[in-house]
Amino acid sequence: MLQFPLKIFLSLVLASTGCAPAAEKPKAPLAAKVTASKPVAAPAKDTIPKPPDLDPAQFPFIDFSVNTIERAESLQSFFKRLDALKSGKSNQVRVLHIGDSHIQGDYFTGWLRAFFQEEFGQAGRGLVFPYQQAGSYNARDVKTNSKGNWQGRKSTFQNTEIPIGLSGMGMRTYYEDFELSIYPQDRYGLDQRFNSVTIFHEKGPEIFDMLVETGKTTPLAPPKLAGTKSITGSIESKPVLVTGTSSHKVRSGESLYSISRRYHCNIADLRKLNRLNSNLIHPGDVLKVPASNWVAPRTAPAPSPDLNTFIEAGAKMVAGTYDSTQPFLSVVHLDTLTSVLRIKGLKNQPRQERTTLFGFLLENNSKPGLLYCAAGANGVTYYHYNHAQYFVDQAAMLFPDLIIISLGTNEAFLPGSKMAEVEREVAAFLGKLQAKMPQVPILVTIHPDVLKNKSVDNTIGLQVRDILRRQTQEHQVAIWDLHQVMGGLGSMRRWRSGGLAQADGIHFTERGYLVKAQLLYSALMKAYAAN
């Protein structure tokens, strides 16, 4: 029996998810009674009970003997980062999970986030995107609303100039007074509050400035610096501290001294910026560092349109101006934890005409923990991410410690004549990630077994599986074979009979996504213990 040393809030709520090749929203997961396992009782609100164990006798259609991570030795650096986090030698570990609408709906990744954060600490919700405003559907634990007309790009095949970024989509507005609100919801018993926001957005002279508000909070007032700006007006939130920062991933042999010299600051500045109690750092740690043209506050920096500023009577202003040190992101550091993010458009120059957004990274860096980021879009393939203009560059700016890729379902519905193209796209994507982030380990999860027309075995899926196995071997990355763990060709029928998959033979029920998450987490933790 697989045991999980965790306590997770088991709330089974109906919502939409799935990974259909079509762009339309898939059906909501069914609330069917599980006939192949023990019934799951809904816990009382705000309790965190232990999740049900996966007993092989209750799931005879699952092949538990192959629920392993192949080439797990390639994940050594990630496992060492987990060790450092557990021992207090590191403040944060980051995971980036890339995929299709299995990921967009956040059922599968939501449970994985809950398992990891309950064991290794909660560092915030991670990456969020207002998919609803882009014309799709939000993750189950994120609510959004907005003012203004938005144009979304959900696929590289769409004939639009909107670029695609980190979240697998992009959205744009020409409405200068736009407003956008994001409300992370507590679906898994996790602390969704945050005190740092990274906005992934387009920059340039034609891009609107933005005001960032954080709801009703009581932060400490920031110090007054020479050369700062004030924005007056009716704004609900309190002042927030704004710094011109970037990120630096510590390499072997580096020290706070060498990093401080590189960024023209001193060790005390770095310790204060990262809330370090000592000079001890470790390879792989992600440090906040001053931007290249940043000057320590004590020297009273001169005004610069490229620098973030203090907003004295309202919210943080994010300039649309291009900054070569941060070409597609802006970081807002808050003085308190909050659970609401509000963005407002601000036209300060005649040339400003639009805003393009790619995602928001919500962090809680007031305590050590793991940040689990999910980037997914309905109906996409490896081709989509290869041709997403900003995806790889923005993914690198997350500084992940592990990349998980869950794609292949939509490729399984392509004709057999397209398999050579599929293999080229898989090879290209793995190659791009390894070239951009050579030190970051990758785990590829093979797609599930799926049925054609609800009942026909999908043999193309076997060809896609073979492609993924060849390319992961070629690129020496880890692999988790969900297709085999499910039971192989035709196993989707048995999952459906057991209440774990929906009638269409493609999508899972929420219980099914929970079981998938338990299987992958168990395989990873077994590999972690062994390595």
Following DSSP, what letter does each residue of 90-120 receive, concatenated? -SEEEEEEEESHHHHT-SHHHHHHHHHHHHH
Structure-model confidence comparison of residues 248 and 167, the more confident one: 167
Structure-model confidence comparison of residues 119 and 265, the more confident one: 119
User: What does pTM read for this prediction?
Assistant: 0.77
Q: Are 105 and 73 in contact (CB under 8 A)?
A: no
DSSP assignment string, 287-324: EEEE-TT---GGG-PPP-TTS----TTS-EEE--S--T
pLDDT value at residue 154: 86
pLDDT value at residue 244: 53
Q: Average pLDDT over the chain, rounded to whole?
A: 81
Tokens of 249: 């991933």
**Length of the chain in residues, anyone?**
531
Q: With a cut of 60, say whether residue 348 has pLDDT above it.
A: yes
pLDDT value at residue 282: 75
Domains plus CATH for the chain?
A: 51-123+367-530 (3.40.50.1110), 127-216+314-366 (2.60.120.1360), 254-290 (3.10.350)
Tokens of 345: 């458009």
pLDDT value at residue 257: 60
Give the separation between CA 470 and CA 97, rounded to whole angstroms: 21
Question: Stretch 382-399: mean pLDDT, rounded?
Answer: 96
Structure-model confidence comparison of residues 193 and 25, the more confident one: 193
Residue among 169, 125, 177 nearest 146 (CA):
177
Q: In whole angstroms, how far apart are CA 1 and each of 35, 54, 57, 522, 528?
A: 18, 6, 9, 11, 18
pLDDT value at residue 291: 60
- Which band of pLDDT confidence, cut at 50, 70 and 90, is reported for residue 248? confident
Give the separation between CA 345 and CA 211, rounded to whole angstroms: 6
- Which band of pLDDT confidence, cut at 50, 70 and 90, is reported for residue 6? very low
Q: With a cut of 80, say whether residue 486 has pLDDT above it.
A: yes
pLDDT value at residue 205: 92
- Percent residues over pLDDT 70 in the chain: 76
- Which band of pLDDT confidence, cut at 50, 70 and 90, is reported for residue 273? confident
Give the separation between CA 367 and CA 384, rounded to whole angstroms: 36
pLDDT value at residue 262: 63
